[in-house]
Amino acid sequence: MINHDLLRSDFNSIDPVKQKEAINYWNDNLLPFPKPISVHFSITSRCGSMCQHCFQWQWPKQTELTYDSICKILFTLKSWGIKSITFGGGDPFLHSDFIKIIKLAKLYGFSISIITNCSIYDKKILKEIATYCDWIRFSIDGPKEIHNAIRNFNFYDNVKKSINYIKYLNSNIITALNFVIQKINFGYINDIFKVQCDLNADFMLLKVVHGEGEYMLTETEWSFIYNWLKSNHSMKQQKHTNINELIYCFDTFYTLHDLARGYPVHTYYFKHNILCFVPMFFLSISSNGNVYPCDYLQYDTRIYSDKQQHYILGNILNDPNVVLETRQKVYTNISHYPAKGFIECGSCTRFCLFNTIATNILRNNNIIKNESEVEQYVFL
Ligand code: SF4
Ligand code: SF4
């Protein structure tokens, strides 16, 4: 099956025609710049949470797109040939028209997935998700008391009830937990399997925190995590986790120093001069219609500042063509746009394998030693 969901794939798993387009563009940039196929769409910045490792809840003005605006955006995305949309936020459940939005997205034929912190338990929304969506991921940061302490609200029980209800309606939908490893929860990492069982989720996906703040781990603490991963790699098959993939990342992409300073792939990207292919496949849309090349350059977990304005490609509501043109313009200046081009690229844990494989194919050398070790689905 062709995978169009760039947020969850490696380069080899996506549409071969798109792969070829991207590689050919680098070889001969007179060719048309490839259109994206996958979008992460934050329909609201309201999140209902006060997380320790994200500052979005402190932003001065919570924004939300109206249903009419979202209709226009979905229409534009369809006309661009987008195949896959991940709805997120904030918490997409808090958008009062979320059910209508899912239905419309389905009508347009997008494959749909959801990322939520589950700040509300809403059976009507869950019913639509069970009917129309491919997968849903819930933020879970540890056992109940730790999760609720990090989020400052009791959302753990909402996640539990929601997964049970979705599974009752549709046992085929894929449910996963996103566990961001950070200062408050890293000592509880041993409990993740219990949490996964308790919540009845198909996958437990561990993610490394990035950014800056008291929630960051030290090098010693990351070393503890690495050793823990190594000693638990056999749990991978039993429990459906991304433990093996994360070990691979530690061994190939991350350094402890980079992890501790919040830019896990910085040295790796520089050392190997990795190029970024992501905007040829992917776009991220914020809750006011601004479009970014990826979610890292959106600064969506950072303290509110003018940084959020730096990498806007345009506003999809105001002028969709400007978005596509700016994207090509920024990208055409290749010497300034390798993956090391922006400081935030050092946080790019989600796309580092994708960019590495693509760069590898382009240069026809062998940076990745053993790609087959990395499974595509549960990567990050
Ligand atoms: S991580 Fe999500 S839920 Fe937490 S503050 Fe940020 S946007 Fe809100
Ligand atoms: S390399 Fe930079 S621009 Fe490319 S996806 Fe990563 S963070 Fe975004």
What is the model's pLDDT at position 273?
84
Ligand 1: residue of 56, 137, 141, 308 to mutate (most ligand atoms within 8 A of CB) is 56
Residues in contact with ligand 1 by the CB-under-6-Å rule are: 47, 49, 51, 54, 56-57, 90, 117, 301
Q: Which ligand 2 atom sits closest to the C-alpha of 282?
A: 5
Low-confidence ranges of the chain (pLDDT < 50): 1, 335-336, 365-380
Residue 208, phi then psi, degrees to nearest 5: -90, 140
**CA dihedral (136, 352, 349, 307) positive or negative:** negative
Q: How close is the Cα of 106 to the center of ligand 1, in Å?
A: 26
Residues framing ligand 2 (Cβ under 6 A): 276, 278, 293-294, 296-297, 339, 342, 344-345, 348, 351, 355
Given a contact cutoff of 8 angstroms between Cβ atoms, the answer to whether 45 and 117 are in contact is no
Distance of CA 90 from the midpoint of ligand 1 (Å): 6
Whose C-alpha lies nearest to ligand 1, atom 6? 54
Q: Using the CB atoms, write b or e for 311-335: b if 16+ within 10 Å.
A: bbbbbbbeebeebbebbbeebeeee
Q: Which residue out of 253, 345, 347, 354 has the highest number of ligand 2 atoms within 8 Å of its CB and is therefore the one to mutate? A: 345
pLDDT digits (tens, 9 = 90+) for 321-364: 999 988 888 776 654 455 556 788 889 888 888 888 888 888 87
Distance between CA atoms of residues 174 and 128, nearest Å: 14
- CA-proximal residue: ligand 1, atom 8 (nearest): 47
The answer to whether the beta carbons of residues 279 and 294 sit under 8 Å apart is: yes
**Distance of alpha carbon 364 from alpha carbon 225, whole angstroms:** 34
Give residue 137 CA to ligand 1 midpoint distance, Å: 14
Atom of ligand 2 nearest to the CA of 341: 2
Three-state secondary structure along the chain?
CCECCHHHCCHHHECHHHHHHHHHHHHCCCCCCCCCCEEEEECECCCCCCCCCCCHHHCCCCCECCHHHHHHHHHHHHHHCCCEEEEECCCHHHCCCHHHHHHHHHHCCCEEEEEECCCCCCHHHHHHHHHHCCEEEEECCCCHHHHHHHHCCCCHHHHHHHHHHHHHHCCCCEEEEEEEECCCCHHHHHHHHHHHHHHCCCEEEEEECCCCCCCCCCHHHHHHHHHHHHHCCCHHHHHCECHHHHHHHHHHCCCHHHHHCCCCCHHHHHHHCCECCHHHCEEEECCCCEEECCCCCCCCCCCCCCHHHHCCCEECCCCHHHHHHHHHHHHHCHHHCECCCCHHHHHCCCCHHHHHHHHHHHHCCCCCCCHHHCCCCCCC
CA–centroid distance, 284 to ligand 2, in Å, is: 11
Could you tell me if 301 and 54 are in contact, meaning their C-beta atoms sit under 8 angstroms apart? yes
Closest by alpha carbon to 39, among 115, 94, 99, 103?
A: 115
Distance CA 286, CA 284 (A): 7
Q: 45, 46, 49: which to mutate for ligand 1, most atoms within 8 A of CB?
A: 49
Ligand 1 centroid to residue 47 C-alpha, Å = 6
What is the per-residue pLDDT for 368?
42
Ligand nearest to the CA of 354: 2
Q: Whose CA is nearest to atom 7 of ligand 1?
A: 90
Ligand closest to Cα of 338 equals 2
